[in-house]
A and B are shown apart, each in its own frame.
Chain A
Amino acid sequence: MQARYLPYVLIAPVSVFLGLFFLYPFYLVAQTAFYDGAGWSLKNFQEVTSYWKFPISFKNTLWLAAVVVPIQLALALLMATMVNAMKKGRDLVLYIWTIPLGISDLAAGIIWLAIFEQSGFLNSMMHGLGFIDRPTALISYQNPALIFVAIALAEIWRATAIMLVILVAGIGLIPKEYYEAAQVFGAGRWKQFVRITLPLLRPSLSTALVLRVILAFEVFAVVQALGGTLFPVLMSETYAYQFELLNGGAAASVALIILGISIASTIVILRVLRVPKGATI
């Protein structure tokens, strides 16, 4: 019953599909980025990086990721540990905490808009508590810091669940016996977390981090909803170049820059969190 060709027949659709709609466009992006109408050149990159908005959007993207991802990691770890200890109600709590997984980043932006916009709930609350008399424009150009906070909060709210699910699965794999052994040898809760949970979570941590960082560099709709043009990020620049300025070459080069930092971070994370051979569960 070993049809030798059967596996290849079965993977053919996926391979063709990905070849056509992934590898080929990828090649096209690269080609567009490095092409300036006459031949191979870096002109697009130069144009893009010398534009005044570039340093800002680059910084914004990186800062946002640098702030949001560690907070999410800590939060997700906390939530995963809590869920792991639950018996009753675990399903319900887990469902609630993973609701944001099903929410589009655009919807998340809109949701937090309801809170932060001028006549929004934050203002209402502050008014209700007597802090202010009338609604203040929170996310306006006068408060760039507040815009950052709003976007960061929305991102934390939306995307922690992505890491949570990976970490919950990873923690679930750690056999209870390890904790029991540690307990017998005198390790308290915190020690158990640091000495057993964290090291054994390494593969999951690295997967979660890689995924989250890559997604963080792609942040787009949330920023559009809350900050619009007030908080440029790399992805919104790509969109603007392609769609408004109709400059395909520039759009492609920004896209490749995003890809570049994604790959670089992936390599760093995988390196730092790599597991020695044989040291898995």
Chain B
Amino acid sequence: MAEIKIKNVAKNFASYQALSDINLTVSDQEFMVLLGASGCGKTTLLRIIAGLETATQGEVWINDRRVDHLPPKDRGIAMVFQNYAVFPHLTVFENIAFGLRMHKHPSAEITKRVHRTAELMHIEQLLKRYSGELSGGQRQRVAVARALAMEPDVILMDEPLSNLDALLRLEMRAELKGVLAESKTTAIYVTHDQVEAMSLADRISVMNQGRIVQASHPVDIYRNPAEKFVAGFIGNPPMNFLVADKQADGRWNVAGQAYDGPSCAENTLDFAIRPEDLALAETGIQAKVNVIEPLGAHLLVTCDVNGAQFRATLDSDAKIGRGDTIALQPNLHRIRWFDPSNGMRKSLEKNDV
């Protein structure tokens, strides 16, 4: 059982607090993605799990063993680094074999495993080369193969795809997902790219300023963000926000339209809806079209609603022009509400879909 438990971990550096109050459980064989902007602490957390940093307080458990006082080599982990860290003075074969040699595996076993992992990562033909002769993508595969060859309980990955070009990133993403599913290893993956996170993760932990803001399945995070921060971070184009004022009848006034919302003490809330959950209609939020971007699959329309920027993705064939005022009707099940003072989600009593 390669379950990872992180309890009350905090990390201070001399000048600032990098992590506070981190509690997380990653189940056996789960693919967990730590997602956030740079500086949010995700890499620090990963390094604490790896043993490359020590937490100021808290505990790290791997496989029902407390590991926070152990060096990386005794934690049963393997790691893939952002800049690959492929050893330049060794051949690809020796790189992949490195960890196995350190752990004193018999020679025949080493050769077998190296070949197997190399095949898995499609680099068998490169085994005799040195890293200087390899492209970035190939080096990346060597780094992954090296980690997989260890058959670790946990594999940790620090933005492994961020240095690759866009097309290669796409390919490698799919490959990684397949390879890791097959190897039945628990994985923790750090990235700032939310598309990567959505595509790879069993669960995502969204991090902001040293805290885990929400940890859940990708679709759940997408549909039901716990905070305004998450709502704005996930999704491209990002979620729309409008100011909503409470009406006398308990409903909420959003840009002149009335919608049912949460019953709460506040008089103003943030109304949120995703661009793809808006449709052209006879009645609805009045929006003045500023920019139309025909993206092929759909139209991305950027509008002005009472001075606020408001985006909608509409059907490619929609007949609208710049300067038009259109009416946009939100999908009522997808409306979300947030408390403007602290960004927390305000849920309705009804079920969200």
Quick one: which of A1-16 are within 8 Å of B by CB? 1-2
Residues of A with C-beta under 8 A to B320: none
Measured CB to CB, the closest approach of chain A to B46, in angstroms, equals 14
Instruction: Give, as a whole number of angstroms, the nearest-CB distance from A46 to chain B.
Output: 53
In whole Å, how far is A1's beta carbon from the nearest beta carbon of chain B? 6
Q: Which of B51-59, B131-139, B241-249, B256-264 contacts A (4 or more CB under 8 A)?
A: B51-59
Is B237 engaged at the interface, CB distance under 8 Å to the other chain? Answer: no
B72 contacts the other chain (CB 8 A): yes
Contacts of A1 in B (CB 8 A): 51-52, 54, 71-72
From 31 to 72 in chain B, residues with beta carbon under 8 angstroms from any chain A beta carbon are: 51-54, 71-72
Contacts of B72 in A (CB 8 A): 1
Nearest-neighbour CB distance to chain B for A15, whole angstroms, equals 24
Q: B47's closest neighbor in chain A, by CB?
A: A1
Tell me whether chain A's interface is mostly helix, strand or loop, or mixed.
loop
Q: Which residue of A lies closest to B71 (CB)?
A: A1
0/1 string, B69-88, CB within 8 A of A gives 1: 00110000000000000000
Closest-by-CB residue of A relative to B73 is A1
**Which A residues lie within 8 Å of B54 (CB)?**
1-2
| Chain A: minimal CB distance from B238 (Å) | 36
Interface residues in B284-314 (C-beta closer than 8 Å to A): none
In the docked arrangement, what's the CA distance between A2 and B71, Å?
A: 10
Quick one: which of B104-158 are within 8 Å of A by CB? none
Bound-complex Cα distance A98 to B52 (A): 44
Complex Cα spacing A1 to B51, Å: 7
In the bound complex, CA of A32 to CA of B52 (Å): 52
Q: How large is the interface on A (under 10, 10 to 19, 20 to 34, 35 or more residues)?
A: under 10
Main secondary structure of the interface of B (DSSP, over half): loop
Residue of A nearest to B54 (CB): A2
A237 to B71, CA, bound (A): 60
Q: How far is the CA of A2 from the CA of B55 in the complex (A)?
A: 11
Cα distance, A1 to B69, chains bound together (Å): 9
**In the bound complex, how far is the Cα of B51 from the Cα of A2, in angstroms?**
10
Bound together, the chains give a CA A1 to CA B68 distance in angstroms of 11
* Cα of A1 to Cα of B72 in the assembled complex, Å: 8
**With a CB–CB cut-off of 8 A, which chain B residues contact A2?**
53-54
> Which residue of chain A lies nearest to B51 when distances are taken between CB atoms in the complex?
A1
A116 → chain B closest CB, angstroms: 51
Which residue on chain B has the smallest CB distance to residue A2? B54
Interface residues of A in 177-215 (CB under 8 A from B): none
**Chain A residues whose CB sits within 8 angstroms of the CB of B53 once the complex forms:** 2
Complex interface: chain A residues within 8 A of B71 (CB): 1
The answer for the CA separation of A2 and B53 in the assembled complex, in Å, is: 7
With both chains docked as a complex, state the minimum distance between the C-beta of B67 and any C-beta of chain A, in angstroms. Answer: 13
Complex Cα distance A1/B52, Å?
6
Looking at the assembled complex, report how far the CB atom of B52 sits from the nearest CB atom of chain A, in whole angstroms. Answer: 6
Q: With the chains together, A2 CA to B72 CA distance in Å? A: 12
A11 to chain B, nearest CB (A): 20
Bound-state Cα–Cα, A22 to B229, Å: 59
Q: How far is the CA of A1 from the CA of B71 in the complex (A)?
A: 6
Chain A residues whose C-beta falls within 8 Å of the C-beta of B52 in the assembled complex: 1
CB nearest to B53 among chain A residues:
A2
Complex CA–CA separation, A1 to B48 (angstroms): 10
Question: Could you tell me the distance in whole angstroms from the C-beta of A197 to the nearest C-beta in chain B?
Answer: 33
A269, chain B: closest CB distance, angstroms: 35
User: Which partner residue on chain A sits nearest B72 by CB separation?
Assistant: A1
Q: Mark A2-38, 1 if CB is under 8 A from B, else 0.
A: 1000000000000000000000000000000000000
In the bound complex, how far is the Cα of B102 from the Cα of A172, in angstroms?
A: 42
Q: How far is the CB of B43 from chain A (nearest CB, A)?
A: 16
Interface positions of A from 131 to 183, Cβ below 8 Å from B = none
Tell me the minimal C-beta distance from A107 to chain B in angstroms.
38
A200 to chain B, nearest CB (A): 30
A1 and B75 alpha carbons, distance in the complex (Å): 13
- Cβ–Cβ < 8 Å partners of B51 in chain A: 1
Nearest CB of B to A206, in Å: 31
Q: Tell me the smallest distance from the CB of A172 to a CB of chain B, in Å.
A: 23
B47 to chain A, nearest CB (A): 10
Min distance, Cβ A7 to any Cβ of chain B, angstroms = 15
Could you tell me the distance between the alpha carbons of A2 and B68 in the complex, rounded to whole angstroms?
Answer: 13
CA distance A262 to B72 in the complex (A): 51
- Shortest Cβ gap from A2 to chain B (Å): 6
Closest beta carbon of chain A to B176's beta carbon, Å: 27
Residues of chain B in range 202-256 having any CB-CB distance to chain A below 8 Å: none
A1 to B53, CA, bound (A): 7
**Bound: A227/B34 CA distance, A:** 75
Question: Chain B nearest CB: distance from A221 CB in Å?
Answer: 42
The docked-state distance in angstroms from the alpha carbon of A17 to that of B53 is 32
* A74 CA to B177 CA, complexed, in Å: 63
Shortest Cβ distance from residue B236 to the other chain A in the assembled complex, whole angstroms: 34
In the assembled complex, 7 residue pairs joining A and B whose CB atoms fall closer than 8 Å, in A order, are: A1-B51, A1-B52, A1-B54, A1-B71, A1-B72, A2-B53, A2-B54
In the A-B complex, the 7 residue pairs with the closest CB atoms: A1-B52, A2-B54, A1-B71, A1-B51, A1-B72, A2-B53, A1-B54
